Structure 1
């Protein structure tokens, strides 16, 4: 994890993933997917909505839907026991 990532988490931002489904004008019958990730503040998601506004203004693709996933809190990495022995020689 980079220093910036840790600092923004301490400020209350959490990793947010958005699946953006869209149509391109040259292929209107083909639904396409773009995955976006950034640290953002729930429940308002100002960074995501700024990106979506940029998309509406600058990208020639019609938005179909946006699915948002958000990690809630900082916590230690999860460890799990592995049953077995790895022999390194």
Structure 2
């Protein structure tokens, strides 16, 4: 197998990893900044206040975007990796 095919497959796999993780990371960033701003404005320094809402928001986004993540991974495996393995 040529090196170019390996590099292209690796590049595509990394791009898919970025696409799949982007919604969760964006929600974690927005929730963290919002909660941090709320804590700074109210002087409430409770550790569970930062953790629980952020995890809750990430669970909701994960549940909503799970079909997108699964579809993206399945199409990558069936369209790219399995043919490469089969041609061996």
TM-score scaled by structure 2? 0.29
- Work out which structure has the larger RCO, using CA pairs closer than 8 Å and 6 or more positions apart in sequence: 2
Specify which structure has the higher proportion of helix.
2
TM-score scaled by structure 1? 0.29
